[in-house]
Amino acid sequence: MIETPLQTIEWQNRLLATHGRLRQRAPLVHCLTNQVTVNFVANVLLAAGASPAMTDHPDEVEDLAAAADALLINLGTPSADSVAAMQRASQSASRSGTPWVLDPVGAAALPLRRELSLTLMAHRPAVIRGNASEVMALAENGTRGRGVDTQHDSGDALAAAHQLLAQSDGVAISGRTDRLLGRSTATADAVTVGVHGGSAWQPRVTGTGCTLGALIAAYLAVADTPLDAMICAHAHAAAAAERAELAARGPGSFAVTWLDALDNVDLTDFLADRLTLD
């Protein structure tokens, strides 16, 4: 472990202030996302304090991506129209300076998605968010996954994530321990933050991964750095999941209770106890 300003009380206070700004500012997050989970993603953003816009018509996305505070592009259910919308939205975000998140769903399993992800990355996403196999597939041709699932641990993808920092400002790798690679405000050197916690119910509810990308986009609009945005988003989701698990009786009740917890969870203890520097 290395000594960095991330270990200070000042840093924790900055993250808590970032969490508070999300609800104060209610940033507009334009989402081009999985049609299976679009309603859930919108509700999660609302519960967390952001304002979702789910417009995906190719002729509308350029204006909205430029006007929004942040953009999410999720490859969950690509069609000819949605691919065109993704390309136009990422170009518009790049021109206008709108921070955006790329979630390369299935890029390790399906060549079309990998190639589309690489094309979109030319417009430099602020953050790339995926499971270990997806992150490795973007940096290393030949890495395979099983559908949207991963065959690797998040730690396996750290070398690939470092490569992807040439094309983005941060990489978030989901797993049993989420690993977030980015730069702090005080140093140009990349650091890796591990986020420990969450609930075993999360993988049993469709869309919890998609919502992480949306939450990162929301926090990008109010955070000092992409690293802060990734940490706040993952901590927000995991802390709320732990709280929801206490009341849930199964996946269905967990999903509803998680939305409630996202609305009012306190991150103070989580940020103090569940983060590590790798």
Confidence at residue 186, expressed as pLDDT on a 0 to 100 scale: 59
Cα–Cα dist 205/194, whole Å = 23
Q: Any idea what DSSP says for residue 39?
A: H
Confidence at residue 151, expressed as pLDDT on a 0 to 100 scale: 67
Tens of pLDDT, residue by residue over 88-123, are 999 999 999 999 999 999 999 899 999 999 999 999
Confidence at residue 212, expressed as pLDDT on a 0 to 100 scale: 96
Cα–Cα dist 84/71, whole Å = 15
Confidence at residue 2, expressed as pLDDT on a 0 to 100 scale: 39
What's the average pLDDT block by block, 10 residues per block, for the chain (278 residues)? 56 93 97 95 98 97 98 96 98 98 94 96 97 92 49 88 95 95 79 93 91 98 96 97 95 96 95 88
If one counts the domains in the chain, the total is 1
Confidence at residue 117, expressed as pLDDT on a 0 to 100 scale: 97
- Can you give the CATH number for the domain in which 36 is found? 3.40.1190.20
Residue 63: domain span: 5-277
The pTM assigned to this predicted structure is 0.93
Q: Which two tokens stand for residue 247?
A: 């009341």
How far the first Cα of the chain sits from its last, in Å, is 5
